Amino acid sequence: MPSDCIFYSYFPVNDPQRFACVHRIYGDNNVGKMLSGQTPASLREQATNSKYFEAQFRTQDPIYGCAGMISE
């Protein structure tokens, strides 16, 4: 992955599952939009971590996602 790629700082090369999980749920286009301008630069890492967390739970529980985990 080239170092000028928008995903480079938030999805490390040594953890391809992180990007795959987020891509599966949100798609690279939506995540790219989030990282390129819709989120302030100071919050992009937190937003990326949040999307990863949400995507993991959505994969485990497609109906309730992280809301199902929170309600437990």
Q: What is the pLDDT of residues 29-59, one digit of tens each?
A: 988 888 887 678 888 889 899 999 999 999 9
Helix, strand, or coil (residue 6): coil
Predicted confidence at residue 52, as pLDDT, reads 94
Q: What distance in Å separates the CA atoms of residue 45 and residue 20, rounded to the nearest whole number?
A: 17
**End-to-end CA separation in angstroms for the chain:** 39
Radius of gyration of the chain (CA): 13
Q: Would the pLDDT of 60 be above 70? A: yes
Pull the structure tokens for residue 11. 């999805």
Give how far Cα 24 sits from Cα of 35, 40, 45, 58, 71, Å. Answer: 17, 24, 19, 10, 24
